[in-house]
Amino acid sequence: MATSSTKKWWKNAIVYQIYPRSFCDSNGDGIGDIPGIISKLHYLKELGVDVIWLSPVYPSPGYDNGYDISDYKGINPEFGTMEDMEKLISRAKRLGIKIIMDLVINHTSDEHEWFKKALAGDSKYRDYYYFRDGKGRKAPNNWGSFFGGKAWTKTENGDYYLHLFSKKQPDLNWHNPDVYEEITDIMRFWLDKGVAGFRCDVINIIYKESLENGKRRFALTGKEHYLNTEGCHELIQRFNAEVWSKYKTFIVGETVFVTPDDAKLLSDESRKELDAVFFFEHMDVDSRGVKWFKKAYKPCRLIRILDKWQKALEVPANYLENHDQIRSVNHFGNTGKFWEKSAKLLCGLNLCLKGLPFIYEGEEIGMTNGDFRGLRDLKDVESASVNQAMKRLLLVHSIRRRLILRTTRDNARTPVQWDSSEGAGFTTGTPWLKINANKSYINVKDEKEDENSILNFYKKMIEYRKGSHALNEGTYRRVASPSDVYIFTRESDEQRLYIYCKVGS
C-alpha cells in the first residue's frame, strides 16, 4: 500500500471539466471566458472539486472550438489574457484547486506559424507535418478522417497534407525530433506557470508507424497504422521521464478505441506512461459501429462494460459525459418523469466506482441535450462535416437531421444554466450556442435552494466520498443481480459498502 509520502496527490481527487466557451461569460459577448471561470471558483470549491480540467484556452481560429491551436503559449483573446490565466491559477490554488490544461499535440491549427511557414515552402517546418505527393489523381493513401471524409487535403502546390481530424487540423510529424523539443518546451512553459498537469488529447494516435494504405473499413480506414504504436509508447515514456515526473503532474490521456489491454499498457503505474486514461466503450454502448447510427440502449450492456473496466484498471478515469458526448441523462437515463432520479443515480454511480470521477460542467445540475430546432442551430465542425459525408451517402435531409441532432457534440456544449433568466446567468448578450429552454427549472440558483436537488445530491455524494475509506481505497467486486441492477461492493480494511444502482427503468 502507498505510504503518505509515495501516494500521489491526485489519487482521491474529484475532477471537474470546464468547456470555457460554455461555462460563464463575464463581458456579455456571448462567449464564456476566464474571468467568468474565476467568478465561479467558490461555487466549484463548495461543490467539492479538487481539480479543474480546462478544455483549450489557447489562441485558435476556433474551427474546432480551440482543439485547433495556433499558438500554444498564449491565451485566446476571446477568453481573456495571460494575466487572467495566471490569476485563475493562483486564485484556484488559494482554494486548494489545481488546474490541468488540455494539450492537443496530435495536430495544430493550419493557422499556426509552423504550418504557415511549411506551406510557404520552409523545409524545416514542412517536416513538422506530413506533406506527401498524391498517387496519380488520388491522395497519398486511403485513410479516413475522424470527422468523416478523407484524411488528406491537397495544397495549392499540388501535394497533400495529412489531417486525422478537420482539414484545419494538420497532423504533426512525431518522427521529427524538433517537434518533440517544441512540444516538451510548451509543456514546461505551462508547468512553470503552476499548471498541475494535462489532459492529453487523442494521445494514443500521435505516432504514425507508416503511411501505408489501411485495411478498408466503413469508418477510420488506416487506424492500424497509428493506434497505440510502439513509437507512441516510447514518446509518452519520454514525456514522463523528461518532463512530467519532474513536476509531479497528473496526466490523463484521451485514448480512442482502446481495449482494456491497450489501456493497461498506457496507464499501468510500472510502465511510467499516463496516470489514467479515458476509454470509450461505455459511450458506444448504443452505437452501431459509428455513433451516428444507434441501436437501443440496454442497461445490462452498460453494466457489463463498466464492470469489465473496473476489473481491468487500477485507476479508471470514470466519466459519463464530456464535451464530445451527449448528456448522460439523455444517454443512460431519462429527461422526463425520471429526470431527477436518473441524474442522481448516475451521480451515485460515477462517485462510487473505483477510480477517478470526472464531472462535466452542468452534469451536476442534470443538464440535458440541446433543444435545437434544426441543423442550422448547430456550430460543431464535426456535425457539419458528417452532414456532408451523409449527403454523399445520399441520405435525405429529414434523416440527416434526426441522426445528427440526437448525437451532435453541441448537445453537451449549450451554455451552463446558472439561473432562469433569459441568458441563463451565462451571458447578458447573445449566447454563441442556443440556451436550453429548460433553464426555467434546471439551473444552479434554484437547485442551490432546493435541499433535494440534483446539485445538492452531488454535494452530499462528493462529501460522502471524501470521507469514505472504502470509496477512496477500497477494492471493487461485482455482486450477482438482476440484469438491469448493478450491485457492487467497495471494501477496504476499514469499511465495506454495498452499492445498489437500479440502472434500468
The Cα 238–Cα 212 span in angstroms is: 26
340 binds, among ligand TEU, Ca ion, none (CB under 5 to 8 A by kind): none
Minimum CB distance to ligand TEU, residue 166 (Å): 8
Residue bearing cell 467539492: 48
201 binds ligand TEU (CB under 6 A): yes
CA distances from 119 to 90, 113, 155, 169 (A): 39, 10, 8, 14
202 binds ligand TEU (CB under 6 A): yes
29 binds, among Ca ion, ligand TEU, none (CB under 5 to 8 A by kind): Ca ion
Residues 5-64 binding Ca ion (CB under 5 A) are 25, 27, 29, 31, 33
Count of residues interacting with Ca ion (CB under 5 A): 5
64 binds ligand TEU (CB under 6 A): yes
> Residue 465 CA to chain centroid, in angstroms?
23
Residues 365-394 binding Ca ion (CB under 5 A) are none
471 binds ligand TEU (CB under 6 A): no
198 binds ligand TEU (CB under 6 A): no
The Cα 171–Cα 162 span in angstroms is: 6
Count of residues interacting with ligand TEU (CB under 6 A): 13
Residues 6+ apart with CB under 8 A from 297: 285, 286, 331, 332
25 binds, among Ca ion, ligand TEU, none (CB under 5 to 8 A by kind): Ca ion
Cβ proximity to ligand TEU: between 228 and 453 the closer is: 228
Contact between 252 and 278 under an 8 Å Cβ cutoff? The reply is: yes
Q: Which grid cell sits at 336?
A: 422526463
Residue from 188, 181, 131, 180 nearest 157 by CA: 131
Residues 315-354 binding ligand TEU (CB under 6 A) are 323-324
Minimum CB distance to Ca ion, residue 79 (Å): 7
State the catalytic residues. Answer: 201, 254
Minimum CB distance to ligand TEU, residue 317 (Å): 13
Minimum CB distance to Ca ion, residue 427 (Å): 7
Quote the longest CA-to-CA distance of the chain: 69
Cβ proximity to Ca ion: between 27 and 420 the closer is: 27
Residue from 309, 315, 350, 310 nearest 329 by CA: 350
Residues 6+ apart with CB under 8 A from 232: 174, 203, 204, 205, 206, 207, 226
Q: Which residues bind ligand TEU (CB under 6 A)?
A: 64, 67, 104, 146, 165, 201-202, 254, 256, 291, 323-324, 409
Rule CB under 5 A: which residues touch Ca ion?
25, 27, 29, 31, 33
